[in-house]
């Protein structure tokens, strides 16, 4: 198990001498740039009207991609901070686990909400999800 964690960590950390690591870096860069382009295009009202479902799905799957990357990165760092190396993985993961839980709860509420997702905001530092009142209600 430790060797798998070590290899995943090496790939995710990237190295100019490691082909899978270089490929993953290019894929991550591509996804980030396409997300930037999607945000720009989605801000144009005419394009948003025609492709809002596509942008919503693209945003959802991009978040899932980066969530998987982050979970793998966090898991693989167990190899770096293993007990035999004198590190404490538990101490390093506690804030990260809270952050992941807050983001997952935030995403769950966005997709189950009758409100538009842009009306939601997350207070990640406080680990809570906040929804403003609907317009026209008291």
| Structure confidence by residue, pLDDT tens digits, 86-103 | 555 555 555 666 667 666
User: pLDDT tens, 22-66?
Assistant: 999 999 999 999 999 999 999 999 999 999 999 999 999 999 999
- Of 26 and 138, which is predicted with more confidence? 26
Dihedral, 90, 95, 100, 103 alpha carbons, nearest 10: 170
User: What's the average model confidence in pLDDT over 69-74?
Assistant: 90
Per-residue pLDDT for 119 more than 50? no
Please choose, from the candidates 31, 11, 34, the residue with its C-alpha nearest in 3D space to the C-alpha of residue 23: 11
What's the half-sphere exposure (Cβ side, CA atoms, 13 Å) at 52? 9
Average pLDDT along the chain: 74
Give the pLDDT band (50/70/90) at residue 17.
Answer: confident
DSSP 8-state assignment for residue 87:
-
* pLDDT for the residue 13: 84
Query: Considering the chain, what percentage of its residues have pLDDT values greater than 90?
Result: 36
């Amino acid at each position: 198990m430790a060797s798998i964690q070590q290899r995943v960590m090496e790939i995710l950390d990237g190295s100019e001498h490691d082909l899978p690591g270089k490929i993953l870096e290019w894929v991550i860069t591509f996804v980030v740039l396409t997300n930037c382009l999607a945000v720009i295009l989605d801000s144009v009202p005419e394009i948003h009207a025609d492709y809002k479902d596509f942008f919503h799905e693209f945003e959802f799957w991009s978040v899932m991609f980066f969530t998987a990357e982050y979970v793998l990165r966090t898991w693989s760092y167990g190899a770096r901070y293993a007990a035999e190396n004198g590190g404490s993985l538990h101490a390093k993961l506690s804030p990260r686990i809270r952050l992941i839980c807050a983001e997952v709860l935030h995403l769950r509420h966005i997709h189950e909400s009758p409100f538009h997702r842009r009306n939601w905001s997350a207070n990640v530092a406080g680990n809570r999800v906040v929804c403003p009142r609907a317009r026209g209600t008291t």
